[in-house]
Amino acid sequence: MHNGGPHGHHVDLLERSSEQAAGEVLGWTERTGPVYLLVVLVLAALVALGVVGFAMTAADGGLDSHHPWGYLAAALAFIMTTSLSAPLVAIAPRFGKAHWNRYVSRIAETWGVVGLLALVILIPLLLTLPPADDRNTMLLYDTIVEGWPVGAPHLYVALVMVFVVINGFGLLWASNIPDFALAKGRVGGLRGALYSKLALGWVGSKRQWRALRAGMGVLGALYFMFIVWAHTVISFDFAQSLVPGMRDSVFPAWQALGGLQAALATVIVTSFVVRKIGPFRDYIGVNQFWSMAKLMLASSLLWMYFWWSGFIIYWYGKTPAQQDLLQLMWFGPYRTIFIITILLCFASPLLILMWNPVRKSILGPTIVGSLIIIGHFFDKIRIYVSSYSVEEYTGHVLKEVPEAVTPGAGDALMMLGVVAGALLLFTLAVKVVPIVNLWEIREGSMLQVVRPFKRLPLKILAKPE
């Protein structure tokens, strides 16, 4: 990093030639040492345990009812909130023409590969999800035309998730094309052939760049919309519509917003790890953590505001149905988990990140990011396990608040397996795609320069119109 100027004034710019950067990044991508292999093996073993957990739960509760699968639904929601939402951290700043994101955008996009795992988990969940008959569903089943829409909710949930995954892979591939073209000449063998195929004859002509930018813009916008709708339908069909009388319209939006918050947390924590284990200290610096921490603080405040907006209406209404829902979701059997969630997802970001020196550090945002991820893990358990535990899911009013469902061995193994599966897919992906976006860094170095302003060297940010 360029650390120039008098008065200790810090200017955060990468001092690497394109050649050097390509050598460092591609070299790390190619290398797979014994530690890496060990990590992969451990994660694979944990995934295998998850499969065992799945088999145990299937044998115990069967695939005939949705009730035993609350923890698996929570696991799906958790990886959607953290991993599948992570590409938003690459997409949104790109639309805002920001520069700080160039160094972490590939990390964010690479988390999109976890979509494969989400699709696998979705299969048993869809198979056991109750049919739309006698139950309220998102797309107004039977409300306007009897029996319409066909296949609700299974069909549209599956379609939305498939779109998210295809879109995520499309975005990851598109953003990699110039880097694949760069890498194909530097590596040989199977890897070189693969890069050559994926680069699609990229030569970097004006036309190709225009097409790439347009394509990435469209894919980014679509991903944003699909992931918000995925959060909406998953939170609706796998939670809200299983609880009679739950008419919480802010709930899907709250879950989508939680996705943005957890996405930032995921990218921050991943950036910290990547920075530690790879030669990326000069690439991912304080500026990246600071910028993401500011957004994470804002999204944490908004997360609490959305929750409060929903809560106050139920609390104020005080109808028996609303009080039962308050008991089920917040103040009854899952009260402890709810308090942990509030502490981790709201109180800790507020109390820690409100201090600029902490925000403008590497460790501070990483610690808060870790706490937020844990908070969302608990929050998904609270929401999905409680919803899956309601015996009588048809009707208009919750008749009885069920007891808390503690996880069995099968549930614990499944959750462990899902988290390990997400990490495994990411770990494998970082050895295929360069974890730092080389062309975006190169572009950034052209659009950011340091020049003296009066006597102080300052960074200049250029924004093409």
Partner 1 sequence: MQLRPVLTERDINRDLLRPVLATPIWFYILLGGLAIGVCAAIGGFAWAINHGTGVYGINRPVMWGFLLVNFVFWVGISHAGVMLSAILRLSNAEWRRPATRAAEVLTIFALGTAALHPLFHTGRPWRIYWSMPPGYDLGRGIWPDIRSPFVWDPTAISTYLTGTTLFVILLLIPDLAVLRDRSSGLMHKVYGFMSLGWKGNTRQWKLQIIAGFLLSALILPVFVSVHSIVSWDFAVQIAVEGWNATIFAPYFVIGAVHSGVAGVISVLALLRWMFRWENYIRDDHFDALARLMIVVATAWFYFFVIEFLLGIYPNEEPELSLRMLQVFEWPFSATFIIFVLMGYLVPVPLWLLKRVRTNVALMFWTTLMVNIGMWLERFIIIIPSLMRKQPLTFNWGSYNPSPIELILVGGSFCLVFLGVLTFSKFFPIIPLADAKEGVALETHVRVGKVMVPAAYREE
463 is an interface residue for partner 1 by CB under 8 A:
yes
Single residue of 253, 304, 342, 416 touching partner 1 by CB under 8 A: 253
Cβ atoms of 220 and 171 within 8 Å: the answer is: yes
Paired residues of 450 in beta bridges: 459
249 is an interface residue for partner 1 by CB under 8 A:
yes
**DSSP assignment string, 229-292:** HHHHHHHHHTTGGGSTT---THHHHHHHHHHHHHHHHHHHHHHHHHHHHSS-TTTS-HHHHHHH
CB atoms within 10 A of CB 316: 8
Give the Å distances, CA to CA, from 312 to 221, 235, 238, 416, 437.
Answer: 33, 20, 24, 35, 44
Residues 42-71 that bind partner 1 (CB under 8 A): none
Single residue of 46, 174, 228, 372 touching partner 1 by CB under 8 A: 228
5 is an interface residue for partner 1 by CB under 8 A:
no
* CB closer to partner 1, 326 vs 339: 326
Single residue of 60, 95, 273, 279 touching partner 1 by CB under 8 A: 95
x/- mask, partner 1, residues 385-424, rule CB under 8 A, reads: -----------x----------------------------
Q: How far is the CB of 396 from partner 1 (least distance, A)?
A: 6
248 is an interface residue for partner 1 by CB under 8 A:
yes
305 is an interface residue for partner 1 by CB under 8 A:
yes
341 is an interface residue for partner 1 by CB under 8 A:
no
**DSSP assignment string, 296-346:** HHHHHHHHHHHHHHHHHHHHHH--HHHHHHHIIIIISTTHHHHHHHHIIII
146 is an interface residue for partner 1 by CB under 8 A:
no
237 is an interface residue for partner 1 by CB under 8 A:
no
Q: What are phi and psi of 160, to 5 degrees?
A: -60, -45
222 is an interface residue for partner 1 by CB under 8 A:
no
143 is an interface residue for partner 1 by CB under 8 A:
yes
- Exposure class string for 181-201: b at 16+ Cβ within 10 A, else e: bbbbeebeeebeeebbebbee
- Exposure class string for 436-460: b at 16+ Cβ within 10 A, else e: bbbbbbbbbbeebeeeeeeeebebe
Residue whose structure tokens are 């603080």 = 297
Joined tokens for residue 423? 């990490």
* CB closer to partner 1, 41 vs 211: 211
Single residue of 56, 119, 313, 374 touching partner 1 by CB under 8 A: 313
Single residue of 41, 193, 312, 363 touching partner 1 by CB under 8 A: 312
- Rounding to the nearest 10 degrees, give the CA dihedral for residues 294, 297, 299, 305: -140
* CB closer to partner 1, 7 vs 33: 7
461 is an interface residue for partner 1 by CB under 8 A:
yes
12 is an interface residue for partner 1 by CB under 8 A:
yes
Q: Distance (Å, rounded) from C-alpha 304 to C-alpha 379?
A: 13
Count of residues in the chain = 465
252 is an interface residue for partner 1 by CB under 8 A:
yes
Q: Distance (Å, rounded) from C-alpha 364 to C-alpha 312?
A: 32
Joined tokens for residue 275? 């920075």
* CB closer to partner 1, 35 vs 144: 144
Query: Which of 421, 392, 390, 381 minimizes the C-alpha distance to 72?
Result: 381
Number of chain positions touching partner 1 (CB under 8 A): 48
CB atoms within 10 A of CB 142: 16
Q: Distance (Å, rounded) from C-alpha 361 to C-alpha 263?
A: 19
Single residue of 38, 123, 277, 460 touching partner 1 by CB under 8 A: 460
Single residue of 110, 287, 341, 366 touching partner 1 by CB under 8 A: 287
Single residue of 39, 212, 222, 250 touching partner 1 by CB under 8 A: 250
142 is an interface residue for partner 1 by CB under 8 A:
yes
Q: How far is the CB of 235 from partner 1 (least distance, A)?
A: 11
447 is an interface residue for partner 1 by CB under 8 A:
yes
Which range touches partner 1 (CB under 8 A), out of 15-23, 33-41, 56-64, 137-145?
Answer: 137-145
119 is an interface residue for partner 1 by CB under 8 A:
no
CB atoms within 10 A of CB 203: 9
Q: How far is the CB of 103 from partner 1 (least distance, A)?
A: 15
Contact residues toward partner 1 (CB under 8 A) are: 10-12, 95, 136-140, 142-143, 228, 232, 241, 245, 247-253, 287, 305-306, 309-310, 312-314, 316-317, 319, 396, 446-447, 449, 451, 453, 456, 458-465
